[in-house]
Amino acid sequence: MADLDPETFDETKYVEHFQQLQRAYKNAFNRMNDQYDSDVVHAIDQQVLAESEPFYEGDGEFRVELPDDPVDRIEGVIVDDQKVTKLLEIYVGEIERELQRVFGY
């Protein structure tokens, strides 16, 4: 998508690009769910990433901004903070790569 720019993306992402965003997040979830502890992946998805914000940085690069204190948001699963931090880092990387792929970069 050569005409995508950061400002336009930010203004229109939930109107014009919602399906692509959903696809990228879902693809990343499926990959993470297949490779890691599904209870932790599901908790991260529902309790942290549901509140995340994707941004297009330009030059084919995307960034996912997390809500404040993402590790502290995890409830309902027994997991140490270090594991959550590591899985969250991997998961965000997967989402950013999927955004690049879905948007044709």
Given a contact cutoff of 8 angstroms between Cβ atoms, the answer to whether 22 and 95 are in contact is no
Tens of pLDDT, residues 8-39: 999 999 999 999 999 999 999 999 999 999 99
State the pLDDT confidence band at 3, using cuts at 50, 70 and 90. confident
Distance between CA atoms of residues 83 and 68, nearest Å: 18
Q: Which residue has the tokens 């502290």?
A: 72
